[in-house]
Structure 1
Amino acid sequence: MSRAQCPRCLRPQSHCLCKLIPQLDSRTKVLLLQHPSEVNHALNTARLAALGLINAELVVGEVFVDLDVLLNPPGYQARLLFPGDDAQLIQSGAASDDSLPLLLVVPDGTWRKARKLLHLNPLLAQLPRVTLPEGAVSRYRLRKAPGPGALSTLEAIVQALEILEAPTSFAPLLRPFEALIEGQIEAMGAQTYQRNHLSTL
């Protein structure tokens, strides 16, 4: 028999995160395009971001038939948060008062799945790209990062918004994320965590 699930955060009712999820506003609009394989992942950080940001939207799929509409909301200029040779470093003031605010488009999935989303959706791949400064350290302690500076989707969004909208802090978005990780570590047991995860860091 399956455990009762919170319909909002999709966590078991006994581990509901809703009380930790803030309601933060932002000038930047965040569009999360989530690969279907991530929807039921225990650490669905894109959903936490969408729930915690008032000006955010989460769309699940592989091919987005209405992508042209999604990428062109009135009053915004779209940028894809994804590394690439032509990606520009996100800078403070990129969403200043004298320019249109950004629509920050964020693919959510493994690196392979995210690249697949770009391949299947040419309009996505054609967007101007922005990327985060190097040297960020993830709090995602449950799996080894694929490379230096690799962040979860939620962490990447928080860092991007804190640069774009400085000095506003978006750190409260990380509270449910940290609670989620602590809960996973507690469920697996300290010894298992230390043996399988600490040794890989």
Structure 2
Amino acid sequence: MSRPQCPRCCRPLERCLCALIPQLHSRTRLLILQHPSEVKHALNTARLAALGLCNGELRVGEVFEDLPALLAQPGYRACLLFPGEGAQALAHYAEQVGEQPLLLVVPDGTWRKARKLLHCNPLLAALPRVTLAAGLQSRYRLRKAPMPGALSTIEAIACALDILEAPQRFDALLQPFEALIEGQIDAMGEQTYRRNHLGEHLDS
């Protein structure tokens, strides 16, 4: 029998994260497009990010029929947070746009699934692409990043907003993410974590 879940954060009730999820305001609007394979993922940081941002929206799917309307937000200029040919540093792109706030579109999924979202939605692939600084390190200590600088979705969003909304900071967005990681470490046991993920050889 499955454990009862919180209908908001979708975590087991005894590990509900809602008390840690902030309500943060931003001029930047976030549109997170989540591949369906991520919905049941143990982390699902895209959902935590959307819940923590007053100006954020999460959509789940492979083909988004209403994408033209989603991208045509009055007063916003849309761009895609995803590496690729011609991608600009986010800070540089924001300077070019000037005072106009951004609609930051963030695909959520493995790299392969995210590329599939772009393939299935040509409007996404046509957006100007922006990237974060190289060399960023993920706080997710339980999995090796697939490539240098790879972040979870919620980490990438927090970093992007730190740039776009400076001097405002969005560290609070990561509080439920940190609690999720600590909960996973507790569940496996400290010694198992240190042995398997830190490479430590502990005396018995």
Following superposition, the deviation at residue 100 of structure 1 comes to: 1.7
> Which runs of structure 2 are paired with 1:151-190 in the superposition (5 Å)?
151-190=151-190
Q: Which secondary structure state, in structure 2, belongs to the residue aligned with residue 199 of structure 1?
A: coil
Give a deviation string over 1:176-195, Cα, whole Å, max 9, x none: 00000000111112233223
**Distance (whole Å) between structure 1 residues aligned to residue 47 and residue 96 of structure 2:** 27
Amino acid at match of 2:175: R
- Counterpart CA distance in 2 for 1:101 and 1:35 is 26
Give the superposed CA RMSD.
1.7
Q: Is the 8 A contact 1:137 1:149 kept in 2?
A: yes
Moved over 4 A (4+): 95-98
Asked if the contact 2:33/2:58 (under 8 Å) is kept, the reply is yes
Aligned with 2:78: secondary structure?
strand
CA contact (8 A) 2:93 2:130 kept: no
TM-score by length of structure 2 reads 0.94
**Which position in structure 1 is the counterpart of 2:72?**
72
CA distance, structure 2, for counterparts of residue 90 and residue 107 of structure 1 = 16
Tell me how far apart the structure 2 counterparts of residues 86 and 93 of structure 1 sit (CA, whole Å): 11
Aligned to 1:130: 130
| Shift of residue 40, structure 1, vs aligned partner | 1.0
Equivalence for 2:17:
17
Taking a change above 3 Å as real, the CA distance of residues 102 and 167 of structure 1, as seen in their structure-2 partners, is same
Bigger drift between 47-56 and 63-72 goes to 63-72
**Partner SS for 2:103:** strand
Whichever residue aligns with residue 190 of structure 1, its letter is: E
Does residue 121 (structure 1) correspond to residue 93 (structure 2)? The answer is no
Quick one: distance in 1 between partners of 2:170 and 2:16? 21
Q: Which structure 2 residues correspond to residues 1-201 of structure 1 after superposition, within 5 A? A: 1-91=1-91, 94=94, 99-199=99-199
1:29 maps to a residue whose letter is R
Distance 1:86 1:98, change over 3 A: closer
Q: 1:163 to 1:92 in 2, by over 3 A?
A: farther
Gaps of 5+ in 2: none
Q: Number of matched residues?
A: 200
Work out whether residues 77 and 101 of structure 1, in 8 Å CA contact, stay in contact via their aligned partners in 2.
Answer: yes
Measured in 2, the distance between the counterparts of 1:96 and 1:147 equals 29
Q: What letter is aligned with 2:13? A: Q
Supply the AA of the counterpart residue of 1:192: T
Instruction: Report which stretch shifted further, 190-199 or 51-60.
Output: 190-199
